[in-house]
Amino acid sequence: MMQSAAMHEQYNEKKIISVSAKRQITIPQKYFEILNVGNEVECVLQNGAILIRPIHERRNGDFAEQILADLISQGYSGNDLLAKFREHNLKIRPAVEELISKADEFVASGNGVVSIDALFGAEEN
**Is the entire prediction scored with pTM above 0.75?**
no
Q: Which residues contact residue 8 at a Cβ distance below 8 angstroms, ignoring those fewer than 6 apart? A: 34, 35
pLDDT in tens, 10-32: 667 889 999 999 999 999 999 99
The arithmetic mean of pLDDT across residues 77-91, rounded, is 89
Residues in the chain: 125
> What pLDDT score does 88 carry?
87
Q: According to the model, what pLDDT value does residue 2 have?
A: 46
